[in-house]
């Protein structure tokens, strides 16, 4: 059975491109595009990996990450965080909240695939 | 020390200020000079009638003598001392300090307030940059679009046998995103251009002066003939907000008026009509110093004579006058490019240097530069000599040899020239988004 990834991102064309490259690699890609109920979506979809944008409408990626880590059922879920602000501060904050990996926009498709492969053995 | 204990010092200060002899004041107040001497040295306490007599003789308010004008000063000093510092402060001698050194105490009070004000401004500006919603939104938009385009473009380029419907879809996405990217970039540029005018920004007195000069296009018609219009010009200037800024402007206009009196526009005009804007020939003809001529050329009305740029620095290399020439940018605050012949001139005073220059970056034009450093005052053997260097900038003559131009920058931070042997700090341009 295919591994499942949940992409939480609000930019439709980024969703489309990332979904495309991950699908070609054999992933089952689900997407979600707002912050409000992102944690519920993670619970419902029960993915093997979450790709989480920081700048989401409704709730920031940092808050969502905290909520995910607060739930014991998802404490070990690999989370790859995407942000446009590659500042040291953001990185430190994400690490403190338990991010598995951090990636700054704009990224190359190869970077995404490498990161995803590292986080979840196919 | 009790507050009243310093009455004597105030009496003495007042008396000296008024130029009254101790014996005269004693006579007027009906006491012996030796007794007044003891009072003035705070060795005798006085009050009541005697204080009133002395106050009357000194023509001051008795309350000023008993409490001192430094009441507010003392409050200010206590405030200044409350700032967190590792420096032990003699709080118990605050009053003595205020009384004995009112000037220094005033300066300290003022400085402490100014520091507090500036700290608030810096904090506000830092917050504004970090949390500026417009800037954050514009940047987010631009970066999102770049991310989408990069990812989509690499799919189009790298995927063999991409199905036609996918290819069409990704093409459409790229087209869409590139339009949004262009809009986002435009928005960002517009915002950054407008930003300085939106709110009061941190300005140094030098910035104030240059905003003032630029507002007049560096030419003051009134000063050409009427040197006494300086105060009016300064009073009417909305850009001169601090006393330091006004003081710099006063000096600059004073020099302008003096230069104009020594080399009237009519004389300069005739010489230019004969020789054109050629510094060598103008210097020969007019017999003035190069600095003087350069300042006059920079003050010519642009509409009649075309653009003339001028940079002046003091012996420390600090730019003290900046009139840019279109196509040649001058840094606002940070140190300029050390490759400028301005600095070469500073190192070799009285040696004229002519050099064709072209700045790194986009959209810059070739300029002809004339640089020279002069001593500011006459040379004295026991004092360091102070020099001032000038770099006059004129548009390059038509047909000038582009290859002969020396490549220089503006300031390291915005200079794309990576392999530069005199680079002082990395460029912010290399990093991109």
What whole-number distance in Å separates Cα of residue B372 and Cα of residue A55?
Answer: 55
pLDDT reported for residue B432: 33
Which of A22-26, B104-108, B327-331 is predicted with the least confidence, judged by mean pLDDT? B327-331
What percent of chain B is predicted at pLDDT more than 70? 88
Q: Are A50 and A79 in contact (CB under 8 A)?
A: yes
Query: Which residues are CB-neighbours of B128 under 8 A, at least 6 positions away?
Result: none
pLDDT class for B3, splitting at 50, 70, 90? Answer: very low
pTM of this structure: 0.48
pLDDT, tens digit, 9 for 90 and up, residues B255-296: 999 999 999 999 999 999 999 999 999 999 998 999 999 999
Q: Name the residue among B59, B21, B56 with its Cα closest to residue B40.
A: B21
Which is more confidently placed, B169 or B427?
B169
pLDDT in tens, B105-147: 888 888 888 888 788 777 767 666 665 656 777 788 888 899 9
Q: What is the pLDDT of residues A29-68, one digit of tens each?
A: 999 998 888 999 999 999 999 999 988 877 788 889 999 9
Q: Which residues of A touch B176 (CB under 8 A)?
A: 13
**For residue B48, what pLDDT band results from cuts at 50, 70 and 90?**
confident
Which has the higher per-residue pLDDT, B383 or B219?
B219
Q: How far is A16 from chain B (nearest CA, A)?
A: 8
Closest CA to B146 of B168, B117, B178, B111: B178
Average pLDDT across chain B, whole number: 83
Instruction: Please name the residue of chain B whose CA is at the shortest distance from the CA of residue A107.
Output: B147
For an interface test with B, which of A9, A88, A106 has the most B Cβ atoms less than 10 Å from its Cβ?
A106
Higher pLDDT, B133 or B381: B381
pLDDT band at B429 (very low <50, low <70, confident <90, very high): low
Rounded Cα–Cα distance for residues B376 and B189 (Å): 42
Q: Chain B: nearest CA to A50, how far in angstroms?
A: 19
| Cβ–Cβ gap B148/A11 under 8 Å | yes
Q: To the nearest whole percent, how much of chain A has pLDDT over 70?
A: 94
Picking from A14, A16, A109, the nearest residue to B154 by CB comes out as A109
Token pair belonging to B286: 């007019």
pLDDT band at B199 (very low <50, low <70, confident <90, very high): very low
> Measuring CA to CA, how many Å separate B421 from each of A112, B330, B356?
38, 20, 20
Query: What would the pLDDT profile of B50-64 be if each residue is shown by its tens digit?
Result: 888 888 888 877 777
Residue B1 — very low, low, confident or very high, per pLDDT cuts 50/70/90?
very low
The complex's ipTM? 0.88
Query: What local confidence, expressed as pLDDT, does residue B327 receive?
Result: 78
B151 in contact with A at a CB cutoff of 8 Å? yes
pLDDT score of B206 more than 50: yes
Average pLDDT of the residues in B199-208: 65
Which of A16, A18, A112 is facing B173, going by the closest CB pair? A16
């Amino acid at each position: 059975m295919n591994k499942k990834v949940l992409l939480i991102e609000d930019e439709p064309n980024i969703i489309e491109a990332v979904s495309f490259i991950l699908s070609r690699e054999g992933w089952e890609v689900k997407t979600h595009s707002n912050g409000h109920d992102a944690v519920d979506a993670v619970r419902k979809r029960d993915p093997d990996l979450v790709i989480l944008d920081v700048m989401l409408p409704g709730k920031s990626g940092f808050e969502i990450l905290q909520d995910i880590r607060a739930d014991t059922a998802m404490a070990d879920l690999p989370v790859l965080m995407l942000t446009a602000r590659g500042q040291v501060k953001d990185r430190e904050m994400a690490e403190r909240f338990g991010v598995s990996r951090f990636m700054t926009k704009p990224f190359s498709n190869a970077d995404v695939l490498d990161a995803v492969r590292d986080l979840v053995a196919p | 020390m009790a507050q009243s204990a310093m009455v004597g010092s105030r009496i003495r200060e007042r008396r000296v200020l008024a130029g009254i002899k101790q014996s005269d004041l004693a006579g007027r107040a009906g006491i012996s000079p030796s007794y007044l001497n003891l009072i003035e040295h705070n060795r005798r306490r006085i009050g009541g009638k005697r204080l009133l007599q002395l106050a009357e003789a000194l023509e001051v308010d008795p309350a000023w003598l008993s409490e001192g004008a430094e009441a507010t000063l003392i409050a200010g000093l206590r405030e200044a001392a409350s700032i967190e510092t590792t420096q032990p402060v003699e709080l118990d001698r605050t009053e003595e300090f205020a009384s004995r050194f009112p000037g220094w105490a005033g300066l300290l009070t003022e400085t402490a307030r100014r520091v507090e004000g500036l700290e608030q401004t810096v904090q506000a500006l830092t917050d504004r940059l970090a949390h500026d919603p417009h800037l954050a939104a514009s940047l987010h938009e631009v970066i999102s679009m770049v991310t989408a385009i990069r990812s989509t473009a690499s799919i189009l380029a790298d995927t063999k046998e991409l199905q036609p419907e996918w290819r069409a879809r990704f093409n459409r996405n790229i087209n869409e995103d590139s339009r949004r990217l262009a809009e986002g970039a435009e928005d960002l540029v517009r915002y950054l251009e407008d930003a300085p005018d939106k709110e009061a920004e941190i300005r140094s007195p030098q910035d104030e002066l240059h905003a003032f000069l630029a507002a007049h296009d560096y030419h003051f018609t009134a000063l050409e003939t009427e040197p006494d219009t300086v105060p009016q010009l300064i009073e009417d200037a909305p850009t001169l907000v601090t006393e330091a800024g006004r003081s710099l402007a006063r000096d600059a206009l004073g020099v302008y008026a003096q230069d104009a009196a020594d080399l009237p526009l009519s004389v300069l005009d005739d010489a230019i009509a004969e020789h054109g804007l050629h510094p060598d020939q103008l210097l020969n003809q007019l017999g003035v110093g190069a600095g003087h001529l350069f300042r006059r050329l920079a003050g010519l009305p642009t509409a009649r004579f075309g653009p003339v740029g001028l940079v002046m620095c003091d012996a420390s290399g600090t730019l003290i006058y900046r009139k840019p020439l279109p196509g040649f940018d001058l840094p606002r605050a940070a140190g300029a490019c050390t490759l400028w012949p301005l600095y070469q001139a500073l190192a070799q005073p009285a040696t004229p240097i002519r050099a064709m220059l072209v700045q790194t970056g986009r959209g810059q034009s070739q300029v002809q530069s004339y640089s020279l450093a002069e001593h500011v005052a006459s040379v004295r053997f026991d004092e360091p000599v102070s020099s001032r260097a000038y770099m006059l900038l004129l548009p390059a003559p038509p047909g000038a040899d582009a290859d002969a131009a020396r490549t220089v920058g503006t300031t390291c931070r915005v200079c794309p020239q990576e392999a530069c042997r005199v680079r002082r700090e990395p460029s912010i341009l290399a990093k991109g988004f």
